[in-house]
Amino acid sequence: DLSRVVGSRGIAQTDVDGAQAGAVYVAGESWSAQADDKIPAGSPIVVVAREGLHLKVTKASKTDSV
């Protein structure tokens, strides 16, 4: 069930922002993703929505575990 990826944590594999899709690694798979704010490669992320095969992500806070 792909909807279960929402709320999952992962890692930004490339820079991710709203202007251009980046890549994130979540639940054992690479996904195309966008974010409202720039997230540098290597940063922890949280999935906030799934739109088709693309994810909307935010940068995870320091208290979130990946």
pLDDT in single tens digits along all 66 residues of the chain:
667 899 999 999 999 998 889 999 999 999 999 999 999 999 999 999 998 889 999 999 866 554
Is residue 44 classed as helix, strand or coil in its secondary structure?
Answer: strand
Amino acid occupying residue 51: E
Is residue 60 classed as helix, strand or coil in its secondary structure?
Answer: coil
pLDDT of amino acid 1? 60
Query: How are the residues of the chain apportioned to helix, strand and coil, as percentages rounded to the nearest 5?
Result: 5, 45, 45
pLDDT of amino acid 46? 97
